[in-house]
Amino acid sequence: MFPYKIDDSHPFVPVTFAILAVSDTRTLETDTSGALLKEMIEHAGHRVLDRTVVKDDRKAIAEQVTAWTAQDTIDVVITTGGTGFSGRDVTPEAVEPLFDKRMDGFSVLFHQYSATTIGTSSIQSRATAGLVGTTFVFCLPGSRGACRDAWEAILKYQFDSRHMPCNFIEVMPRLTER
């Protein structure tokens, strides 16, 4: 669906991720979406420094994301789960107030691609993204399909320093500019 160009004359630059599953029912052992993200991220050549599960609780979600974005060693935080419309789905409410800059384009692209795989059901996701300090934060739905769509269609390329015409890696050194 989206055009991709990889310029192999550029070196690949690995970055460090943390993965947060938001669920009242999953554990680290039963979190298949977080496990899939970890596998895809590492397969692409990046590192996953930490991975955990928290309950669908605004405070717990915000505290974990804040702890990770405060670490200089984590470049990207991905949450999975809690982006729907049920009463317990509070990930956007917990994370969006932390954003220094919103990334509206991520939600747009995610929904465009997701619609090609699940049709109009894509509208049931409140996927969101932004920048907290110098850390990229992406909030994905909890399904394995949604995590695969987000990684394979968008994030894999934006976190590949060889992706043209531009990518997040080349922006990272300039995130602290004022």
Supply 59's token pair.
């405070």
CA–chain centroid gap for 11, Å, is 23
- The pLDDT, as a whole number, for residue 3 is 77
Residue 61 reports pLDDT greater than 80: yes
- Report phi then psi at 98, rounded to 5: -80, -20
Q: How far apart are CA 18 and CA 66, in angstroms?
A: 12
In contact, 144 and 32? CB cutoff 8 Å: yes
Distance, CA of 120 to CA of 122 (rounded, Å):
5
Catalogue all structural domains in the chain, each as residue range(s) with its CATH number. 13-174 (3.40.980.10)
Judge whether residue 2 has pLDDT over 80.
no
Which residue(s) pair with 135 in the sheet? 132
Which residues, listed in sequence order, are joined to residue 73 by a DSSP beta bridge?
none
CB atoms within 10 A of CB 2: 9
The sign of the CA dihedral 85, 131, 11, 9 is positive
SS3 76: strand
* Residues 150, 140 contacting (CB under 8 angstroms): yes
Tens digits of per-residue pLDDT, 82-138? 999 999 999 999 999 999 999 999 999 999 999 999 999 999 999 999 999 999 999
Question: What pTM was computed for the model?
Answer: 0.97
Count of CA atoms in the C-beta half-sphere (13 A) of 142: 23
